[in-house]
Amino acid sequence: MYESIGAELRALCGKELREATDREVYRALLQMVQRRAAEQSRPVSGRKLYYISAEFLIGKLLSNNLINLGIYEETRACLAEAGKSLAAMEELEPEPSLGNGGLGRLAACFLDSLATLDLPGDGIGLRYHCGLFHQNLKDGVQSESPDFWLTDDCWAQRTETVYPVQLAGTTVQARLYRIAVTGYQGRTNQLNLFDLDTVNEGILGEGISFDKADIPENLTLFLYPDDSDDAGRLLRIYQQYLMVSAGAQLILEECAARGCDYHNLADYAAIQINDTHPSMVIPELIRLLGEHGIAFEEAVEIVTKTCAYTNHTILAEALEKWPLGYLEKVVPQLVPIIRQLDALARTRTEDTSTAILDGENRVHMAHMDIHFTHSTNGVAALHTEILKNSELANFYRLYPEKFNNKTNGITFRRWLLQCNPKLSREIEQRIGPGFKKDAGELEKLMALTEDREALESFAAIKAFNKKQLAQWLYEKQGVWVNPDAMFTIQSKRLHEYKRQQLNLLFLIHQYFQIKAGHKPAVPLVCIFGAKAAPAYTIAKDIIHALLTLSKVIAADPKVSRYLQVVFVENYNVAAAEKMIPACDLSEQISLASKEASGTGNMKFMLNGAVTLGTMDGANVEIAQRVGQENIYVFGRTSNQVIHRYQVGDYNAHEWYEGDPNIRRAVDFLVSDEMLAAGREEQLRRLHRELSGKDWFQTLPDFNAYLVRKTQAMMDYAHDPEGWSRKCLINIAQAGFFSSDRTIAEYNRDIWHLG
């Protein structure tokens, strides 16, 4: 209908682009994308997927949508002609931080792949007003502030659809908002986000504090603000029920409109439960089916056929177990159903460890999921094996046919085409554009591993991206890093099991070495990005120690020539897109068995970084694909770790006392230099934790980490061509980790859509 993008944008702005403000152009771009996205939506016949998740870490959408709609280049050129830059428009777009990390980002990648593969699949979640907090780092300490993203021109479109939801005996109205999800040369699906009109940003106090009891006004302000107290935990249940009740009503309504009579719900809908946050959808659907005259036994059967569950962690403290009293308060209408489900589960086995209600009257959400869905999957091969053989072995004995693995993946549109256009173009010149739709084609790059000219061009792109990152860090944080150094990056949530503290101990060791006159093979720039949960004291202490060490090193010109430590403030999707293409060494150093999969590991690999990692999560599958020469593996294996926990004889203090290198590195935390630059209470607490407890067994892996990282530095410094070959092989072998492959497997084994 318009002859060009320029004409369309002019019409939407109501004036020449040259004369429009950046914001007017941004708004026009948004409208243009929304109109074109709507054109790609398709009617659904057959089974449709509903991916229910408390988190969708979608990141900024403008560029991604332009790429997926195939109009990125034309739009960029048209803006450039009018003296506007697309990059400036991207700056105007606020980032929705509707997730914590990997789990939420995975959900966003899955939506992209569903639409790209032309599969009918919508997301269901919540429209948080501030999402996850904004992280501020000042004087070595993290503080939190709200991160608003709901501006006037925003991707989430308000609809007139509302559903009544009963919370603690009163009825609230859940309003549906929709975000169009475009596919790459594919269809448009929807991300359905629910919210209450009554939520009031005005109740925010200092930082991210607010009245936790005022549910109608606070319900969707933040993503899981804080579960360190009862009010915070209750709020979490309120949020979860709002999401699943409104979601279940939406699903039933859509299916009925397509002719479903509810007895055959499973022919119309597949519901994927993303971790246990949406698990209440099971009793809620049974309740709603009951209102339509379907008896309990049949409703259980229908729901079991319709729903499937994904487990994302084996960490006991992360597995939700809600006191029944909480549910009685918030969702009394579900309690009789949960009791019936518990009774039914108990008829299936004598083994009470699989019951839904435990001896302390707590509801085990994961247990309800496994009994009453038809599929339970882990997110990487090792993770699924651990679920089957140890964490969920009792369930595996009961339902072997339900268990399956779906190794995670990432969308290459965002994590290659969008974030690393130079690399993407280079690949296209070498092997053609097919890899954009069929990631397996990246393997064609294996033909270039002995091609010196090709290796040099790939290395030049990495060098360019490192300069870009250095520039960005300077503009954002005022730190100047040496772009000729080796860049190592550890970016992910701050958690002890991910072991940022192991990296910290290495850096301290490196500091000693340089002080003692042993220059490293290559200067190092070590970059961190990580948010700590607001109430997670030790995580905050680790951030403090890293920031303090960074200060100590920066103040010492002899050391800082060879070693720089940079902590990126407020790590989010936009930051990841800048950091990942510039990485040489990807730090994936969790305690083996604890990281279910990891997805950052895949993003770094795809962008030509070499992994330094433990045999954990998807690192195992990365190692299988690239071969031992193209990854640096170290540390105890998951079997060794699991055994240690079973025996329960790990003694941090013995390791601390028994190894002078370890002791010296740990003790440096409370040295005069550190205490002068940092805060005594925090540093002493971390020292005590590491030397006396070290629950995630950092110390036993310290020496192996040191050896492998030093080896990586030497290889990088002394054999640049060999290093470039490793990088290229990592890119070439990354195809398996496309979320298109993951989604195709979910569809083949679990969903059977369309």
Question: Which residues are identified as catalytic?
Answer: 312, 492-493, 498, 599, 603
Q: For the CB of residue 236, give the shortest distance to ligand 26V in the complex, in Å.
A: 10
Q: What is the DSSP string of 520-562?
A: -SS-EEEEEE-PPPTT-HHHHHHHHHHHHHHHHHHT-HHHHTT
Q: For the CB of residue 494, give the shortest distance to ligand 26V in the complex, in Å.
A: 11
Is position 568 an interface residue for ligand 26V (rule: CB under 6 A)? no
Near ligand 26V in 102-141, by CB under 6 A: 102-103, 106
Q: Between 670 and 709, how does the x/- string for binding to ligand 26V read (CB under 6 A)?
A: ----------------------------------------
Distance separating alpha carbons of residues 200 and 378, to the nearest angstrom: 38
With contacts defined by CB under 6 A, name the span among 40-48, 336-344, 391-399, 590-598 that binds ligand 26V. Answer: 590-598
With contacts defined by CB under 6 A, name the span among 43-51, 82-90, 195-203, 311-319 that binds ligand 26V. Answer: 311-319
With contacts defined by CB under 6 A, name the span among 349-357, 443-451, 596-604, 721-729 that binds ligand 26V. Answer: 596-604
CB atoms < 10 A from the CB of 707, how many? 12
With contacts defined by CB under 6 A, name the span among 79-87, 182-190, 524-532, 593-601 that binds ligand 26V. Answer: 593-601
Is position 313 an interface residue for ligand 26V (rule: CB under 6 A)? yes
With contacts defined by CB under 6 A, name the span among 76-84, 192-200, 369-377, 594-602 that binds ligand 26V. Answer: 594-602
Q: Between 510 and 549, how does the x/- string for binding to ligand 26V read (CB under 6 A)?
A: ----------------------------------------
Is position 317 an interface residue for ligand 26V (rule: CB under 6 A)? yes
Q: For the CB of residue 74, give the shortest distance to ligand 26V in the complex, in Å.
A: 35
> Which residue type does 80 have?
A
Q: Which is nearer to ligand 26V, 317 or 453 (CB)?
A: 317
Instruction: Compute CA 280 distance to the chain's CA centroid, rounded to the nearest angstrom.
Output: 22
- The answer to whether 95 and 574 are in contact (CB under 8 A) is yes
| Beta bridge partner(s), residue 76 | none
Distance separating alpha carbons of residues 357 and 321, to the nearest angstrom: 9
Q: For the CB of residue 342, give the shortest distance to ligand 26V in the complex, in Å.
A: 24
The dihedrals phi and psi of 325, each to the nearest 5 degrees, come to: -60, -35
Q: For the CB of residue 597, give the shortest distance to ligand 26V in the complex, in Å.
A: 4
Q: Quick one: which of 474, 472, 488, 566 has its CA closest to 522? A: 488
Q: What is the DSSP string of 161-203?
A: EEEEEEETTEEEEEEEEEEEEE-TTS-EEEEEEEEETT--GGG
Is position 617 an interface residue for ligand 26V (rule: CB under 6 A)? yes
According to CB under 6 A, which one of 11, 315, 479, 554 is a site residue for ligand 26V?
315
Near ligand 26V in 484-513, by CB under 6 A: 495
Q: For the CB of residue 617, give the shortest distance to ligand 26V in the complex, in Å.
A: 5
Q: Between 30 and 69, how does the x/- string for binding to ligand 26V read (CB under 6 A)?
A: ----------------------------------------
Reported as type and span, the H/E element at residue 673 is: helix 672-677
- Encode 737-754: b = buried (16+ Cβ within 10 Å), e = exposed: bbbbbbbebbbeebbebe
Residue 585 gets the label, from left (phi > 0), alpha (psi -120 to 50) or beta, of beta
> Which residue type does 364 have?
H
With contacts defined by CB under 6 A, name the span among 136-144, 148-156, 310-318, 660-668 that binds ligand 26V. Answer: 310-318
The dihedrals phi and psi of 750, each to the nearest 5 degrees, come to: -120, -50
> Which residue type does 345 have?
A
Strands 157-167 and 170-182: antiparallel
Q: For the CB of residue 313, give the shortest distance to ligand 26V in the complex, in Å.
A: 4
Is position 320 an interface residue for ligand 26V (rule: CB under 6 A)? no
Q: Which two tokens stand for residue 637?
A: 């294996």
Distance separating alpha carbons of residues 752 and 747, to the nearest angstrom: 5
Near ligand 26V in 374-413, by CB under 6 A: 379, 408
Near ligand 26V in 226-285, by CB under 6 A: 275
With contacts defined by CB under 6 A, name the span among 7-15, 295-303, 592-600, 658-666 that binds ligand 26V. Answer: 592-600
SS3 174: strand
- Residue 239: is it exposed, middle or buried by C-beta count within 10 angstroms (0-12/13-18/19+)? buried
Q: For the CB of residue 106, give the shortest distance to ligand 26V in the complex, in Å.
A: 4
Distance separating alpha carbons of residues 566 and 748, to the nearest angstrom: 44
Distance separating alpha carbons of residues 124 and 108, to the nearest angstrom: 11
Q: Which is nearer to ligand 26V, 66 or 494 (CB)?
A: 494
> Which residue type does 414 have?
R
Is position 598 an interface residue for ligand 26V (rule: CB under 6 A)? yes
Residue with tokens 């496309």: 738
Q: Which is nearer to ligand 26V, 315 or 521 (CB)?
A: 315
Q: Which is nearer to ligand 26V, 317 or 672 (CB)?
A: 317
Distance separating alpha carbons of residues 145 and 186, to the nearest angstrom: 38
Q: Which is nearer to ligand 26V, 63 or 384 (CB)?
A: 384
- The answer to whether 60 and 90 are in contact (CB under 8 A) is yes
According to CB under 6 A, which one of 496, 595, 694, 740 is a site residue for ligand 26V?
595
With contacts defined by CB under 6 A, name the span among 98-106, 198-206, 390-398, 434-442 that binds ligand 26V. Answer: 98-106
Distance separating alpha carbons of residues 588 and 584, to the nearest angstrom: 13
Distance separating alpha carbons of residues 686 and 694, to the nearest angstrom: 10
Q: For the CB of residue 383, give the shortest distance to ligand 26V in the complex, in Å.
A: 8
Q: For the CB of residue 745, give the shortest distance to ligand 26V in the complex, in Å.
A: 14
Q: For the CB of residue 751, give the shortest distance to ligand 26V in the complex, in Å.
A: 17
> Which residue type does 268 have?
Y
The dihedrals phi and psi of 719, each to the nearest 5 degrees, come to: -140, 70
Q: Which is nearer to ligand 26V, 376 or 564 (CB)?
A: 376
Q: For the CB of residue 107, give the shortest distance to ligand 26V in the complex, in Å.
A: 9
Question: If binding means CB under 6 A, how many residues of this protein chain bind ligand 26V?
Answer: 18
Q: Which is nearer to ligand 26V, 57 or 89 (CB)?
A: 57
Q: Which is nearer to ligand 26V, 284 or 616 (CB)?
A: 616
Q: For the CB of residue 315, give the shortest distance to ligand 26V in the complex, in Å.
A: 5
- The answer to whether 126 and 150 are in contact (CB under 8 A) is no
Q: What is the DSSP string of 317-384?
A: GGS-EEEHHHHHHH-GGGHHHHHHHHHHHHHH-S-GGG-SB-TT-EEEHHHHHHHTSS-EEESSHHHH
With contacts defined by CB under 6 A, name the span among 129-137, 197-205, 556-564, 591-599 that binds ligand 26V. Answer: 591-599
Distance separating alpha carbons of residues 526 and 224, to the nearest angstrom: 30
Q: Cα angle vertex 114, ends 117, 254, to 5°?
A: 120
Residues 6+ away with beta carbon under 8 Å from 630: 610, 726, 729, 730, 733
Is position 179 an interface residue for ligand 26V (rule: CB under 6 A)? no
Q: Which is nearer to ligand 26V, 319 or 717 (CB)?
A: 319
- The answer to whether 250 and 124 are in contact (CB under 8 A) is yes
Residues that bind ligand 26V (CB under 6 A): 102-103, 106, 275, 312-313, 315, 317-318, 379, 408, 495, 595-599, 617
